[in-house]
Amino acid sequence: FGWQKPVNLYALVTQLGALGALDSSSEMSYRQTMALAVPTLYRSIDTALASPAPDAADDGASEAALEALREQPCIWVGSGFVRPAVTALVSPLSLQPHLYVVSADLQSFGSLLRRLGVRDRFGSSQLVRLLEDLAFRHASAPLDSASLEMVLSVVQQLASPQHQPLPPTQIYLPDTACAMVVAHELLFDDTPWLSDSLAGGQQAAGGQAASILSSASKRRRVHPSIAHETAARLGAQSLRLWLLGRNADTFALGQENVEAFGQYESLTSRLHNILELYADGVGILHELIQNSDDAGATEVSFIFDQAQHGDQSLLSPSMREWQGPALCVFNNAQFTPRDLRNICSIGSNAKLAAGNATGRFGLGFNAVYHFTDVPSFISGSHLVFFDPAAQFLPGATANNPGLKIKFAGESFLEQFPDQFAPYPLC
């Protein structure tokens, strides 16, 4: 009767698909039966896959059945069958009933399970989809405590290096009310010095600053259990940068009061050559005097500020090491737009055309790189920073290694008091 003949692969795969299509039962007898039947079936399929098919037609039919099975509930997880797409062999997180880990007694069938589509570990796309599913399931309602705990663990996992870069899709994060919100609509509060002002609305600030703080207080915030670095990696906005570039998606593109600004040539190599050719010392002060003369100044003052200024309310935490001591230089002229363009073009011949500029052959402003990697100056209503290495300024890049802030008549002085504190000395 052929009872000793092995069951062909197509029949085995069909049987597994039929089992997965059955309604799962919570009865203990059902679980016990499947706990015995599933390993036997997996083992038979594994053996059949390792054996050559009798003919090409059988082999093709078996492959087609396997392909169809990848989209069906065929992975036993102890309480029922689930699709391979929501399973993994190992995971540091418990994510049921959204994602499942293959039980220990079925780990020996890893080769078969991988062929069916089970991953070794959950990928970033699966974790992102879990957050999305929870967001749609709860709509704007707050998560229960168990779901929130799961979400926070998934968020932490997604921010880890093994999941970078993340898929180009929206990521949902919990806000302070435990509701799921698209990450880019959330702010994380990295301005602790403004917390009291934001909480008190307009009581702690006046005029335009109060209006901005009031607007910021209405923005939804990231759940406090999510670290700032994690929130930033997943797409939430920094309140510090929102205050700095509130009129544009990113201040690197430029806007009315804050714009990308910097020296546009190959900076690090050019500045290295300047520092190699011109020795450090008193000659730098002469260059700064020449620079003042170029701007039409009749008065120049030098102040050695030995103070260590506050380092909390800064444009970026990475700016802390530039809060002193410092050499402050004052002159009674104001840079014209042309002067600013010349400063941004290192080594250009623009000065040669100005016969009355005593510093036309000097290094001018660029001599300050003997003293600092992040020089800054105030001229008129603007504060300008340069960061040639693009390591310290928020948003600085190789193409735009600087920042120009219009502070006069704006609220930046009130929002970032530590950042602006050293300049009145001049």
Q: Give the integer Cα–Cα distance in Å for 187 and 8.
A: 58
- What's residue 192's pLDDT? 79
Crossing angle of helices 28-50 and 9-21, in 10° steps, is 160
Packing angle of the helix pair 56-69, 9-21 (nearest 10 deg): 20
Q: Which two tokens stand for residue 355?
A: 């016969």
According to the model, what pLDDT value does residue 398 have?
Answer: 77
The answer to whether the beta carbons of residues 172 and 135 sit under 8 Å apart is: yes
Angle, helix 145-158 to helix 124-138, in steps of 10 degrees: 150
- pLDDT tens-place string over residues 259-286: 566 655 566 777 777 667 666 778 788 8
Instruction: Decide: 57 and 51 in contact? Cβ < 8 Å.
Output: no
Specify the pLDDT at position 300: 92
Task: State the average pLDDT for the chain.
Answer: 80
Q: Which of 5-9, 340-344, 353-357, 376-380 has the highest mean pLDDT?
A: 376-380
Query: Where residue 354 falls among pLDDT bands split at 50, 70, 90?
Result: very low
Give the pLDDT of residue 203: 46
Tracing tokens 């994510």 back to the chain, one arrives at 95
Please give the model's pTM, rounded to 2 decimal places: 0.69
The residue among 200, 205, 229 whose CA lies nearest residue 217 is: 200
No. of H helices and E strands in the chain? 15, 14
CA distances to 102, 191, 194, 222, 249 from 188, rounded to whole Å, are 37, 9, 13, 5, 16
- 133-140, long-range: CB < 8 A, 24+ apart: 133/98, 134/98, 134/172, 134/180, 135/172, 135/180, 135/181, 138/179, 138/180, 140/179
Q: Which one, of 44, 62, 46, lies nearest residue 54 by Cα?
A: 62
Instruction: Answer whether residue 361 shows pLDDT above 60.
Output: no
On whether the CB atoms of residues 40 and 19 are closer than 8 A, the answer is no
Pair 103, 117: CB distance under 8 Å: no
> What are the backbone dihedrals phi and psi of residue 166, each rounded to the nearest 5 degrees, phi first?
-80, 155
Helix (H) or strand (E) holding 313: none
CA distances from 1 to 4, 22, 57, 92 (A): 8, 30, 23, 50
Query: To which H or E segment does residue 181 belong?
Result: strand 180-182
b or e along 172-206 (b: 16 or more beta carbons within 10 Å of the residue's beta carbon)? bbbbeebbbbebeebbbbbbeebeebbeeeeebbe
Rounded distance, CA 116 to CA 126, Å? Answer: 16
Q: What gap in Å lies between CA 45 and CA 116, rounded to an integer? A: 11
Q: Which of 42-51, 345-354, 407-416, 417-426 is predicted most confidently?
A: 42-51
- Amino acid residing at 204: A
